[in-house]
Amino acid sequence: MEPIKTHNGLVYPLPKRNVDTDQIIPKQFLKRIERSGFGQFLFYNWRFDEKDQPRQDFTLNQPKYKGASVLIAGDNFGCGSSREHAPWALLDYGFKVIIAPSFADIFYNNTTKNGILAIKLSEDKVDYLLNQAEINSYILTIDLEKQKVHDELGFEADFDIPAYHKHMLLNGLDEIGITLTYADQITQFEQTYN
């Protein structure tokens, strides 16, 4: 995983509440066994029509949002089934940060384990960010070390994150990576008790 210390990225606004994991990555695309290649199927039923052609009315298909790496969404993002494919699809598409008023618990944990920073901000702050991203090409800066989100227009917000998740993201570690940081102690233990 890539460490995240600060991230400066184009914002894509998705002003929808209760976006579930089947909307993020529909079930028919869950047959792959590797973690890569899911980005092309992100929000598939919204992005593409019955003939697999891009829908012009879905904003993520607009050139304005090409290369967006910060997703702003409504309340309860990532609800539904606990499929880990949802953060895989978001990350593979290019999203490094997701900001919403709330997230489904399992989805929130899965984002961290896969290198995506999920930030909870109040609804009024999320509404401000959504509005800015709908009007302009809008860039946000996220500083994980200082736990701040800010823009060049004067907006600034602090966010909370569990220390364990912050450590994982700052160092680009998943749970296996954290375990491997104790490799010397594990080897010493094995040698002592074998």
Tens digit of each residue's pLDDT (9 = 90 or more) over 116-131: 999 999 999 999 999 9
The answer to whether residue 93 is domain-embedded is: yes
The answer to whether residue 1 is domain-embedded is: no
pLDDT of residue 178: 77
The answer to whether residue 58 is domain-embedded is: yes
CATH number (domain holding residue 69):
3.20.19.10
pLDDT of residue 191: 82
Number of domains within the chain: 1
The answer to whether residue 14 is domain-embedded is: yes
Range(s) of the domain holding residue 71? 6-193
The answer to whether residue 167 is domain-embedded is: yes
Query: SS in 3 state form for the chain?
Result: CCCCCEEEEEEEEECCCCCEHHHHCCHHHCCCCCCCCCHHHCCHHHHECCCCCECCCCHHHCHHHCCCCEEEECCCECECCCCCHHHHHHHHHCCCEEEECCECHHHHHHHHHCCCEEEECCHHHHHHHHHHHHHCCCEEEEECCCCEEECCCCCEEECCCCHHHHHHHHHCCCHHHHHHCCHHHHHHHHHHHC
Residues of the chain with pLDDT below 70 are none
pLDDT of residue 190: 85
Tens digit of each residue's pLDDT (9 = 90 or more) over 17-43: 999 999 999 999 988 778 889 999 999
The answer to whether residue 135 is domain-embedded is: yes
